[in-house]
């Protein structure tokens, strides 16, 4: 087995009260892909910061292989006083790192590099932070929720980029599809300790359920044993005193074991307060259009949404998903076309902008609106503590200011507020942001049981596949098309993914194909990207260096007595020359390929 690049041993950390981490062990070897799983608040992010060397545990040891490079992606990057996103990315490079790679990644992630970090969106901040950690090509990548605030095209690009790299990876994410596609092993942080299996996330949930079921059986056996010992204590025949004292001591030990047992955290109890049924027709849109200046957001879109439909709206950030939803629910009038809303509609909405909450107000005030100790749930009063517990908040958090809540806790709070209102139409904008996997399961079950209609915007592919009955996707020039089924079904029908070119290109897909067939000269001119330009500049030097290395090894092998004098040196030189010749052939082929491409572009 390969030696670990990073190893944590007996890590303990307590922030008052119950220990957050109690004897955690984690090791990651070269090329290993580990997904770190656990509920919100279980200590995943803290453990990743300890691995990155940013947080000091109360006790335990951290070992990093000498010379190994680590890059850590936090949930909320600190841009400091950097003037541009490119300056921020380049500041993360080491002495020997390639500045072309920084520029290339900034470009690939949809940034120009000139953005002011003080005035960028959450998605742009996340893309800049990703470019910063990926550019140095580190030995170990520690990624905390890398897909947060990213749109689907960027998530799929990132997935492919990480898959192609050889570095070790420790990954925290709530995106099931992302985890399943990238992870090779799973570390489950539960009640302060880690359990680990050498299988990826796709095997995790079945394994977790087995572990919890076995744990429950063991606790049941312990309870029965305590009952039997207590029965002996009350009614058993007295024997030798020493034996009785020992057995009584064993009973006390069993009771302590039971008392100190930290059971699995309870499940959330999500239920939407449902109003009376709406009419069969919920929303009908006919040829609606919306534009801002020259930019078309929606162009001649029509749809008919009926009671019980689950509609998913997907696409790149900036494509107009939220605008389309506001048009459909009547919050924003179209420039042309008609919107017809069905009878008896009661709507509840979940806004993705959680900043609308007053950070100084308390959790109880946010739920009750600052009025008393009761929440109106479905038109009936319910004590705020009882309602908080339904969403996995502890009673002690009742007076907690919102500004200290984690991202997952803010997400649960927004859901609690939205679901308290009686509704037969749920409009959810990014409901999965920051929610842990267990909370996502409960949300899926709730939406499955909900008798009304659901319209949701999401970038979670697995969540879309599990929940929606149809998907609305943007094409170019403001066109939107509805596909039956979930996200995967849409890809099969559409025939391609949601790349930015296909969605935000100058013409719809069908028109682009026709243009290429009839007027090839109208196609956009191909250009060399940063990686290709850099390779053309540096490959000749690389080839010369490899040729010099081959000559050096060949000089050793030219000695006819080398084999007899030093067999090990002969074998090492033979192996080195063979390997270098392979690298030289690959470098020459790559240079020739790029040179031909450059000439074709110049002649076009």
Structure tokens at 303: 């749809």
Q: State how far the Cα of 339 lies from the Cα of 288, in Å rounded to an integer.
A: 8
Beta-bridge partner residues of 286? 338
Q: Of 407, 403, 431, 404, nearest to 417 (Cα)?
A: 431
Residue 316 annotated as binding site: yes
Pairing type for strands 347-350 and 336-341 reads: unpaired
Residue 41 annotated as binding site: yes
Q: State how far the Cα of 10 lies from the Cα of 586, in Å rounded to an integer.
A: 46
Q: State how far the Cα of 551 lies from the Cα of 536, in Å rounded to an integer.
A: 24
Residue 42 annotated as binding site: yes
Grouping H, G, I as helix, E, B as strand and the rest as coil, residue 27 is strand
Residue 273 annotated as binding site: no
The set of residues, in sequence order, having a beta carbon less than 8 Å from that of 163 and lying 6+ positions away, is: 181, 182
Q: Of 162, 170, 163, 159, nearest to 5 (Cα)?
A: 170
Asked if 171 and 144 touch (Cβ cutoff 8 Å), the reply is no
Residue 321 annotated as binding site: yes
Residue 315 annotated as binding site: yes
Q: Of 73, 54, 77, 74, nearest to 64 (Cα)?
A: 54
Asked if 587 and 546 touch (Cβ cutoff 8 Å), the reply is yes
Residue 40 annotated as binding site: yes
Residue 406 annotated as binding site: no
The set of residues, in sequence order, having a beta carbon less than 8 Å from that of 360 and lying 6+ positions away, is: 401, 402, 403
Q: State how far the Cα of 271 lies from the Cα of 446, in Å rounded to an integer.
A: 6
Please, what's the largest Cα pairwise distance for the chain?
103
Sign of CA dihedral 197, 202, 206, 208: positive
Structure tokens at 439: 């909370």
Residue 45 annotated as binding site: yes
Residue 381 annotated as binding site: no
The set of residues, in sequence order, having a beta carbon less than 8 Å from that of 393 and lying 6+ positions away, is: 363, 409, 412
Find the Cα–Cα–Cα–Cα dihedral 585, 161, 529, 526, rounded to 10°. 100
Residue 531 annotated as binding site: no
Structure tokens at 459: 């970038």
Residue 44 annotated as binding site: yes
167 burial type by CB count under 10 A (0-12 exposed, 13-18 middle, 19+ buried): buried
Binding-site members for ATP are: 38-45, 315-322
Binding-site members are: 38-45, 315-322
């Amino acid at each position: 087995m390969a030696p670990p690049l990073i190893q944590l041993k007996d890590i303990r950390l307590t922030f008052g009260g119950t220990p957050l981490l109690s004897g955690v062990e984690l090791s990651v070897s070269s090329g290993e892909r580990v997904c770190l799983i656990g509920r919100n608040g279980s200590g995943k992010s803290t453990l990743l910061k300890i691995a990155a060397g940013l947080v000091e545990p109360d006790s335990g040891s951290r070992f990093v292989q000498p010379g190994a490079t680590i890059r850590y992606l936090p949930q909320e990057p600190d841009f400091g006083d950097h003037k541009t996103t490119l300056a921020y990315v380049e500041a993360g490079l080491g002495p020997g790192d390639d500045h072309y790679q920084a520029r290339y990644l900034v470009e690939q992630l949809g940034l120009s590099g000139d953005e002011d970090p003080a005035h960028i969106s959450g998605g742009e901040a996340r893309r800049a932070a990703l470019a910063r950690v990926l550019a140095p090509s580190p030995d170990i990548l520690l990624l905390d929720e890398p897909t947060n605030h990213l749109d689907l095209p960027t998530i799929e690009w990132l997935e492919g980029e990480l898959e192609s790299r050889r570095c070790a990876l420790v990954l925290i994410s709530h995106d099931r599809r992302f985890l399943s596609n990238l992870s090779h092993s799973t570390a489950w942080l539960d009640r302060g300790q880690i359990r680990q299996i050498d299988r990826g996330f796709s095997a995790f949930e079945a394994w977790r359920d087995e572990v919890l079921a076995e744990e429950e059986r063991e606790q049941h056996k312990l309870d029965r044993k305590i009952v039997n010992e207590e029965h002996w204590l009350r009614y058993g025949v007295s024997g030798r005193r020493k034996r009785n004292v020992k057995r009584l001591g064993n009973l006390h030990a069993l009771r302590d074991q039971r008392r100190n047992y930290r059971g699995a955290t309870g499940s959330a109890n999500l239920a939407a307060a449902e109003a009376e049924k709406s009419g069969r027709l919920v929303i009908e849109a006919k040829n609606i259009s919306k534009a801002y200046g020259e930019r078309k957001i929606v162009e001649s879109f029509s749809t008919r949404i009926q009671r019980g439909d689950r509609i998913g709206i997907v696409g790149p950030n900036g494509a107009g998903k939220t605008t389309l939803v506001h048009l459909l629910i009547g919050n924003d009038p179209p420039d042309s076309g008609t919107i017809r809303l069905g009878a008896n509609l009661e709507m509840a909405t979940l806004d993705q902008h959680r900043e609308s909450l007053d950070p100084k107000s308390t959790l109880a005030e946010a739920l009750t609106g600052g009025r008393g100790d009761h929440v109106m749930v479905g038109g009936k009063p319910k004590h705020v503590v009882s309602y908080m517990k339904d969403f996995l908040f502890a009673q002690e958090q009742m007076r907690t200011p919102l500004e200290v809540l984690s991202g997952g806790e803010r997400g649960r709070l927004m859901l609690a507020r939205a679901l308290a209102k009686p509704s037969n139409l749920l409009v959810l904008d990014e409901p999965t942001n920051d929610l842990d996997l267990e909370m996502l399961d409960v949300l899926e079950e709730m939406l499955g049981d909900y008798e009304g209609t659901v319209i949701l915007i999401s970038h979670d592919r697995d969540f879309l596949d599990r929940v929606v009955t149809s998907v609305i996707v943007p094409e170019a020039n403001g066109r939107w098309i509805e596909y039956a089924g979930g996200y995967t079904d849409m890809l099969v029908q559409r025939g391609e993914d949601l790349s930015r070119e296909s969605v935000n290109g100058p013409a719809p897909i069908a028109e682009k194909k026709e243009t290429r067939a009839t007027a090839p000269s109208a196609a956009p001119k191909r250009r060399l990207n940063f990686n290709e330009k850099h390779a053309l500049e540096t490959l000749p030097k690389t080839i010369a260096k490899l040729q010099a290395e081959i000559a050096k090894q060949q000089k050793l092998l030219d000695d006819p007595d080398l084999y007899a004098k030093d067999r090990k040196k002969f074998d090492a030189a033979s192996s080195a020359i063979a390997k270098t010749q392979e690298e030289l052939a690959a470098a020459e082929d790559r240079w020739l390929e790029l040179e031909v491409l450059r000439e074709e572009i110049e002649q076009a």
